Amino acid sequence: MAGRIKVNWLILLGLAILVSGCAETQFLISGTKRLQGAAGTAGNYKIGNPYQISGTWYYPAEEWDYDETGIASWYGSDFHGKDTANGETYDMNDLTAAHRTLPLPSFVRVINLENGRSIVLRVNDRGPFAKGRIIDVSRRGAQLLGFKDQGTARVRVQILAERSQALKAQILGQDSIAEHGSPIQVDKMPKASVSAESLPPPPGAQAAPQPSSPPPASAPSSQAAVADDIRPAPPAEPEVTTVAVGPTKIFVQAGAFTNYQNAMRTQIMVNRVSPATISHVLIDNKDFYRVRVGPLATVEDADRALEQLQAIGYPGARIIVDGKGAGS
């Protein structure tokens, strides 16, 4: 009899160890899947290799001082639900944007230089692929910036360096945990539990009298209180601010040269299709001579001038908006 009891105890002990091991394995797998899911939602951190579009090369980089003016456009239903360049799913109702060279993802502030509206967008895709545009915003972004109906706007785009670097660190940290597993330690053996069992009273004993009123209700557990405290807050409304902006002018720039003779030769070539001027600017204590067409009245006029310059051998020509508004 004693031998049988000992064997039964060994069987029960083995089953307990097996169940504990399975529970631990399942817990670690489940935790890793949750982290992988969170990282997938945030997308992969990506810079990417240089690439070429319509004869122009683009060089993605961590340009933490990026600040540019130009023409913005927007994209919507044709890309809704499709993958972005860093593995997210494009949602035209989110506050996102596409940029040709900035890190993915990163945050930028976009200011509409025509009405002063300003919002923060999360860059998670490559583009725009239309010539003469510096950023493609989501449909929701275009609505809040006030140019959805007209299609384009003169904008200033500034990277938010600290916020973007924090996002990079967060994503890379999550990717590391998802790859190597959670560091949480789980005990191999479950701790024994003690249970109480009511026994029948001995012969002749009387049952103790029951209280006339039920015991007071117990206070809510601390776990329930903590659960209430950590409920996610409702999403905040997008913050749209308005800043003061001044007048702007649109130019098409054929190039900027440190050698004045090169600028003169370019001006002669450009004058064959459109009148061009040379302007001098000092950048980082260096002299540059810019060859430009303009100012031009509309974005459509700038698009035509850009096509003309690219057709005569200036694939790097681009549309420039002079006048940065607030913060310039």
Q: Are residues 151 and 275 in the same domain?
A: no
Residue 178 lies in a domain: yes
Instruction: Mark whether 76 and 153 lie in a shared domain.
Output: yes
Of 223, 245, 267, the residue at which a domain comes to its end is 245
Amino acid, single-letter form, for residue 129: F
Q: In this structure, what CATH number is given to the domain that contains residue 71?
A: 2.40.40.10
Buried b (16+ CB within 10 A) or exposed e, 8-39: eeeeeeeeeeeeeeeeeeeeeeebbeebeeeb
163 and 269 share one domain: no
- Whether residue 195 lies inside any domain: the answer is no
Cis peptide before 216 (omega within 30 of 0): no
CATH number, position 294: 3.30.70.1070
- Per-residue confidence in pLDDT tens, the chain, 328 aa: 555 544 455 555 554 444 444 433 333 333 322 233 333 355 789 999 999 887 788 999 999 999 999 999 999 888 999 999 999 999 999 999 999 999 999 999 999 999 999 999 999 999 998 889 999 999 999 999 999 999 999 999 999 999 999 999 999 886 554 554 544 444 444 444 444 445 455 555 455 455 455 555 555 554 444 444 444 445 556 689 999 999 999 999 999 999 999 999 999 999 999 999 999 999 889 999 999 999 999 999 999 999 999 999 998 899 999 975 554 4
Among candidates 259, 258, 255, which has minimal Cα distance to 267?
Answer: 255
* C-alpha–C-alpha distance, residues 89 and 83, integer Å: 5
Token pair in block for residue 15: 């089953």
- Contact call for residues 88 and 123 (beta carbons, < 8 A): no
Residue 158, beta-bridge partner list:
67, 109
Asked whether the beta carbons of 325 and 244 are under 8 A apart, the reply is yes
Is residue 220, in this structure, part of any structural domain at all?
no
Domain count of the chain?
2
The whole domain housing 303 covers 249-322
Query: 43 near 171, Cβ under 8 Å?
Result: yes
Pick from 245, 276, 294: which residue ends a domain? 245
Using the 3D structure, point to which of 245, 276, 291 is the last residue of a domain. 245
